[in-house]
Structure 1
Amino acid sequence: MDGRNWRILAASVAGTIAIFAVLFFLVGGRRVLEVLFTATPSLVAVTFVFGLAWLAAWSLMLWVILGTLEVDVPAGKSFFIYAAVVFANNVTPFGQAGGEPVAALLISRTSRARYETGLVGIASLDVLNVVPSVSLVLVGVGYYAAHFTLGDRLQTAVGSAIVVVVSVAAVLLLTWRYRHRFVDRTAGVISRTAGRFRLARFTTEAITEQTIADRMHRFFGHVERVAVNRRRLVSTLGLSLLGWLFQGAALLAAFAAVGHTIPLYVVLFVIPLGNLAGAAPLPGGLGGIEAAFVALLVPTTGVPASVVTAAVLIFRAAIYWMPVFIGGGSMTALGVRTLA
Structure 2
Amino acid sequence: MRRILRVVLGFALALLAVGGFLWIVGPRQVLDELTGVDPATYAAGFLAVVAAFYCWSEALRRLLASVGGDAAREVGGPRYRAAFMSGEFLKQVVPMGHSGGPVFVSYAVSKETDAPYEEALAAATVVEFVNIASSVALAGVGIGVVLLTSDGPITPLFVALLVGFAVAVVALGGAALLVNSRRALVERLVLRAAGIGRATVGRLSGRARAALAADRVAGTFGTYYAAFDRALADRAEVRRAAAFSLAGWALFLAPMYTSFRAIGEPVPYALVVFVVPVLSLVNVVPLPGGLGGFEVALAAVVVALVGLELPAATAGVFLYRLSNYWFVVLLGGLAAAWVSTRLADPPSPLAPTPEPDGSSTESATDGE
- What is the TM-score normalised by the length of structure 2? 0.82
| Partner SS state of residue 315, structure 1 | helix
In 1, Cα distance between equivalents of 2:228 and 2:144:
33
In 1, Cα distance between equivalents of 2:30 and 2:197:
48
**Range moving further from structure 2, 37-46 or 231-240:** 37-46
Residues 1:173 and 2:190 are matched in the alignment: no
Name 1:48's counterpart in structure 2: 46
Name 1:159's counterpart in structure 2: 163
The alpha-carbon deviation at position 237 of structure 1 amounts to 0.8
The alpha-carbon deviation at position 123 of structure 1 amounts to 2.4
Name 1:123's counterpart in structure 2: 125
Residue-by-residue CA offset, 1:143-163 (whole Å, 9 max, x unaligned): 222324332222212211221
Name 1:287's counterpart in structure 2: 292
Q: Quick check: 1:62–1:78 contact (8 Å CA) kept in 2?
A: no
Supply the AA of the counterpart residue of 2:306: T
In 1, Cα distance between equivalents of 2:335 and 2:5:
26
Residues 1:245 and 2:250 are matched in the alignment: yes
In 1, Cα distance between equivalents of 2:175 and 2:211:
30
Name 2:350's counterpart in structure 1: none
Name 1:266's counterpart in structure 2: 271
CA spacing shift, 1:157–1:206, aligned 2, 3 Å:
closer
Residue-by-residue CA offset, 1:135-181 (whole Å, 9 max, x unaligned): 22222122222324332222212211221221121132133222134
In 2, Cα distance between equivalents of 1:26 and 1:153:
22
Q: Quick check: 1:255–1:311 contact (8 Å CA) kept in 2?
A: yes
Q: Quick check: 1:290–1:312 contact (8 Å CA) kept in 2?
A: yes
In 2, Cα distance between equivalents of 1:174 and 1:324:
32
In 2, Cα distance between equivalents of 1:46 and 1:100:
28
Name 1:331's counterpart in structure 2: 336
- Name the count of aligned residue pairs: 337
The alpha-carbon deviation at position 199 of structure 1 amounts to 8.7
Among 14, 20, 23, the alignment partner of 2:21 is: 23
Name 2:219's counterpart in structure 1: 214
CA spacing shift, 1:235–1:108, aligned 2, 3 Å:
same
Q: Quick check: 1:85–1:103 contact (8 Å CA) kept in 2?
A: yes
CA spacing shift, 1:25–1:337, aligned 2, 3 Å:
closer
* Matched ranges for 1:220-235 at <5 A: 220-235=225-240
Name 2:95's counterpart in structure 1: 93
Q: Which has the larger Rg?
A: 2
Q: Quick check: 2:84–2:108 contact (8 Å CA) kept in 1?
A: no
Name 2:114's counterpart in structure 1: 112
| Partner SS state of residue 289, structure 2 | coil
In 1, Cα distance between equivalents of 2:207 and 2:108:
14
Among 36, 59, 75, the alignment partner of 1:61 is: 59
Name 2:137's counterpart in structure 1: 135
Percent identity (aligned): 25
Q: Quick check: 1:277–1:285 contact (8 Å CA) kept in 2?
A: no
In 2, Cα distance between equivalents of 1:262 and 1:113:
42
Name 1:308's counterpart in structure 2: 313
The alpha-carbon deviation at position 257 of structure 1 amounts to 1.1
CA spacing shift, 1:276–1:178, aligned 2, 3 Å:
closer
CA spacing shift, 1:116–1:202, aligned 2, 3 Å:
farther
CA spacing shift, 1:247–1:218, aligned 2, 3 Å:
same
Supply the AA of the counterpart residue of 2:159: Q
The alpha-carbon deviation at position 272 of structure 1 amounts to 0.8
Stretches of structure 2 lacking an aligned partner (at least 5 in a row): 346-368
* Matched ranges for 1:181-220 at <5 A: 181-184=185-188, 186-187=190-191, 189-191=193-195, 193=197, 196=201, 207-220=212-225
Supply the AA of the counterpart residue of 2:96: F
